[in-house]
Amino acid sequence: MNQESPEQPVRNSKSVIRLPIIVAITLAAGVLIGSTFFSGGKSLTDVAKSSAKFREVLMYVENNYVDSVNTEELVDYSISKMLEKLDPHTSYFNSEEATAARSQLESGFDGIGVEFNIYNDTVYVVTPLSGGPSETAGIQSGDRIMMVNKEKLSGPGVTNAQVYKLLRGKRGTKVDLSIERVGLKDKMNFAVVRDRIPTYSVDASYMVDNEIGYIKVSRFSETTFDEFKSALKTLKADGLKKLILDLRGNPGGYMERATSMADELISGDKLLVYTEGKDSRFDRKTRSHVDGTFEKGPVIVLVDEGSASASEILAGALQDHDRALIVGRRSYGKGLVQMPIKLSDNSELRLTISRYYTPSGRSIQKPYEMGKGDDYSQDLSHRYESGELFNADSIKFDKSKVYKTDGGRTVYGGGGITPDFFVPRDTLNNSKYLFELYAKNIIREYALRYANENLKKLEKQPFNDYLKSFQVSDAMLGELVKDATKAGIKANEKELKLSKPVIVAQTKAIIGRYVWGRKQKSGLNNEVFQVINPTDNVYQRALQLFGQASQLEAGDFSSLNTVKGKK
Query: How many Cβ atoms sit within 10 Å of the Cβ of residue 361?
Result: 13
CA distance to 188, 202, 255, 259, per residue, from 225 (Å): 38, 9, 11, 9
Q: What angle do CA 112, 221, 265 make, to 5 degrees?
A: 135
Report the SS3 class of residue 504. helix
Whether residue 125 contacts residue 25, with contact meaning beta carbons closer than 8 Å, is answered with no
The residues annotated as belonging to the active site are 309, 320, 334
Q: Residue 100: which of 184, 183, 167, 7 has the closest Cα?
A: 167
Backbone dihedral angles phi then psi of residue 527, each to the nearest 5 degrees: -60, -40
Q: Residue 438: which of 121, 84, 183 has the closest Cα?
A: 183
Backbone dihedral angles phi then psi of residue 148, each to the nearest 5 degrees: -130, 120
Q: Residue 528: which of 502, 542, 508, 499 has the closest Cα?
A: 508
Q: How far apart are CA 137 and CA 150, in angstroms?
A: 18
Q: How far apart are CA 242 and CA 428, in angstroms?
A: 30
Report the SS3 class of residue 187. coil
Whether residue 273 contacts residue 243, with contact meaning beta carbons closer than 8 Å, is answered with no
Q: How far apart are CA 420 and CA 430, in angstroms?
A: 27
DSSP-assigned states of every residue in 194-212 = -EEE----EEEEEESSSSE
Strand pairing category for 242-246 and 271-276: unpaired
Single-letter code of the amino acid located at 506: Q
Q: How far apart are CA 470 and CA 450, in angstroms?
A: 13
Adjacent-strand bridge partners of 350 = 91, 340
Whether residue 188 contacts residue 439, with contact meaning beta carbons closer than 8 Å, is answered with yes
Outline where 294-357 has alpha helix (H).
310-320
DSSP-assigned states of every residue in 25-66 = -GGGS-B--S-------S-HHHHHHHHHHHHHHHHHHHHH-S
Q: Residue 201: which of 172, 171, 231, 236 has the closest Cα?
A: 231
Q: How far apart are CA 120 and CA 115, in angstroms?
A: 17
